[in-house]
Amino acid sequence: MAKIGINIATGSLQQPEMIVGIDLGTTNSLVAIIHPESKKPVALKEHNSSSLVPSIVHFDAFGNVTVGEAAKTFLESDPANTIFSAKRLMVDADVRGQGIGTTLVQFAENRILKISPNVFICVSSFNQKAQQLYFKLGYEQVGLLKNFIADGFDELLLRKTTGTLNGFIHSTGS
């Protein structure tokens, strides 16, 4: 039986939240959703049928943004306005502490919080610096994924919210 959320005060149907996962990789990035019907993760694909997008961003003089494959050409023609390997920059000792990580997280939060009251992030238990950053930005630990990467490597599930968890329903499949 399907569940339909109804706002008792207004009588309107509640729209289920879209669950989106983003892997901002050093070389490539990927976006996946939980399919609303199959409830299984599905990697979104670019127009060229690839789910992997090169982690390259170009900003032109007018503020237009080009991402992925299309931005690769600017690595040679306009390198001063093209960012690649941003994650490597964030951990470089000479660049650390300059706000690059905070800026990227806040950029993503602003986009996500327009469509969902919750932002979830996983961070490795051994990555103390990243944990400090997320806690400073208002994230709270809501779960622990034991031995998620490999034995002895846990992931902390962190959440930042502008709402409640009321929209999330845990189903055991029974």
Q: What span, in angstroms and rounded, lies between the C-alpha atoms of 158 and 109?
A: 13
Q: Lowest-pLDDT range, 30-34, 38-42, 54-58?
A: 30-34
Give the model's pLDDT for residue 18.
66
**Which residues does 108 contact at the CB level (< 8 Å), separation at least 6?**
22, 24, 119
Q: Do the beta carbons of residue 6 and residue 14 sit within 8 Å?
A: yes
DSSP letter for 13, please: B
pLDDT band at residue 102, thresholds of 50, 70 and 90? confident
Give the model's pLDDT for residue 172.
39
Between 144 and 17, the more confident residue is: 144
Q: What span, in angstroms and rounded, lies between the C-alpha atoms of 106 and 38?
A: 31
- For the cut 70, the answer to whether the pLDDT of residue 118 exceeds it is yes
Which domains occur in the chain, in start order?
94-162 (3.40.630.30)
pLDDT band at residue 4, thresholds of 50, 70 and 90? very low
- For the cut 60, the answer to whether the pLDDT of residue 6 exceeds it is no
Give the model's pLDDT for residue 137.
92
Torsion of CA 160, 14, 19, 40, to 10 degrees: 150
Tens of pLDDT, residues 121-172? 888 888 888 899 899 999 999 888 888 766 788 888 888 888 765 544 443 3
Give the model's pLDDT for residue 94.
72
Q: What are phi and psi of 128, to 5 degrees?
A: -60, -40
Which tokens go with 28? 């490539």
Query: Residue 58: which H helix or E strand, with range?
Result: strand 56-59
In angstroms, the Cα distances linking 35 to 21, 39, 128 are 12, 5, 33
Tens of pLDDT, residues 50-91? 777 787 888 888 878 887 888 899 999 999 888 887 666 666
Q: What span, in angstroms and rounded, lies between the C-alpha atoms of 141 and 135?
A: 9
